């Protein structure tokens, strides 16, 4: 069997890559995808913990995280579409004014 620590290391790598992607990318959609990567890294860590401890609760929590991520994606993409309609751009450097 593969030790759980391998999965934790992979989860750590994915989380850090998500953070890097979030800060390197300059458009809202890709930054949003970076957030999804971080959520998935957390899911992987939860499932590895659930496997090593034997509790079923980890899978339930992952289920909830996925539901919340789906809701978040729907709302976030709607907001991005609104921003695109108003500013004609989703680059972060074009979004400088607070007022719509």
Partner 1 sequence: MMNFLFFFLAIICAGSVLAMIATKNQAYNALFLVLAFACLGGLFGMLGAPFMAVVQIIIYAGAIMILFIFVIMMINLGQGLSPEKKKWTIIFSVFLVLVLFAEIAFAAKSAFSSFKSPGAGSATSPTDLGRHLFTKYLYPFEITSILIIAALVGAIVLVKRREKE
The whole-angstrom separation of Cα 76 and Cα 26 is: 16
First to last CA, the chain: 55
Task: Tell whether residue 95 is a contact of partner 1 (CB under 8 A).
Answer: no
Cα angle: 42, vertex 80, 36; to 5 degrees? 10
By CB under 8 A, residue 10 contacts partner 1: yes
Min. distance of Cβ 96 from partner 1 in angstroms? 19
List binders of partner 1 among 16-35 (CB under 8 A).
17-18, 20-21, 24-25, 27, 29-30, 32-33
- 83: part of which helix (H) or strand (E)? helix 57-87
| Residue number with CB closer to partner 1 (1 or 95) | 1
Closest contact distance (angstroms) between CB of 1 and partner 1 is 7
């Amino acid at each position: 069997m593969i030790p759980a620590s391998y999965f934790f290391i992979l989860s750590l790598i994915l989380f850090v890559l998500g953070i890097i992607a979030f800060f390197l990318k300059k458009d809202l959609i890709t930054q949003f995808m970076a957030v999804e990567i971080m959520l998935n890294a957390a899911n992987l860590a939860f499932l590895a913990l659930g496997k090593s401890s034997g509790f079923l609760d980890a899978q339930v929590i992952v289920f909830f995280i996925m539901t919340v991520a789906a809701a978040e994606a729907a709302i976030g993409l709607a907001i991005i579409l609104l921003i695109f309609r108003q500013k004609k751009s989703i680059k972060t450097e074009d979004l400088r004014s607070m007022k719509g």
